[in-house]
């Protein structure tokens, strides 16, 4: 190999290595771990001051909404109501269907010392849509089973 090819090879290797390192660091810094409240409590120190996702239920009578400053505070609980995580959101509108006891999905930075998520994203889930869809599917399956029984009897 002549000198020029060696220089091109070395420069290309450095460039490719740098790009791989940038991608790796970027993915690591922007990736979010997903938790349920009880899982987050167990790994609190591990994810202190890191971005996380959590989903659970809005604890009863924990919601405070200030429309003047767009500040929403509430508590996310697990299904068994044994683990609780405080959430504060500033500068965002209160999501549709946001109500005590409802399902919620929160993304943000977690402070383990205060057991507090500073939310960057809050979404609610509408359970009634899923229950209704499930019951419609069950009705359809029951109809098919009844049709098969009638067909066999004839």
Give the number of domains in the chain: 1
Has residue 142 been placed in a domain?
yes
The CA-atom distances, in angstroms, between 128 and each of 62, 95, 100, 111, 125 are 22, 16, 15, 33, 9
Q: DSSP secondary-structure letter at 46?
A: G
Has residue 13 been placed in a domain?
no
Q: Report the pLDDT value the prediction gives residue 22, as an integer from 0 to 100.
A: 85
Has residue 24 been placed in a domain?
no
Q: What is the pLDDT of residues 102-131, one digit of tens each?
A: 999 999 999 999 999 999 999 997 655 544
119 - beta bridge partners?
Answer: 108
Has residue 46 been placed in a domain?
yes
Containing structural domain, residue 102: 30-148
Q: Report the pLDDT value the prediction gives residue 86, as an integer from 0 to 100.
A: 97
Element (H, E) at 33: strand 33-35
Q: Is residue 54 a contact partner of residue 76, using CB atoms and an 8 Å limit?
A: yes
Residue 119: CB atoms within 10 A of its CB come to 21
Kindly report the pTM of this predicted structure.
0.65
List of the chain residues with pLDDT < 50: 130-139, 143, 147, 149, 151, 154
Q: Report the pLDDT value the prediction gives residue 3, as an integer from 0 to 100.
A: 87
CATH number at residue 125: 2.40.50.140
């Amino acid at each position: 190999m002549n000198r020029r090819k060696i220089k091109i090879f070395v420069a290309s290797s450095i460039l490719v290595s740098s790009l791989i390192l940038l991608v790796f660091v970027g993915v690591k810094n922007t990736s979010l771990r997903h938790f349920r409240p009880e899982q987050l409590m167990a790994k609190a120190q591990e994810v202190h001051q890191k971005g996380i996702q959590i989903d659970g239920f809005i604890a009863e009578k924990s919601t405070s909404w200030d429309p003047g400053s767009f500040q929403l505070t509430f508590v996310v609980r697990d299904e068994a109501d044994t683990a609780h995580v405080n959430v504060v959101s500033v500068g965002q509108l209160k999501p549709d269907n946001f109500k005590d006891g409802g399902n919620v999905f929160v993304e943000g930075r977690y402070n383990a010392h205060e057991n507090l998520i500073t939310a960057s994203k809050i979404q609610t889930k509408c359970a009634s849509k899923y229950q209704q869809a499930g019951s419609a599917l069950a009705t359809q399956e029951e109809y098919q089973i009844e049709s098969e029984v009638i067909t066999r009897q004839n």
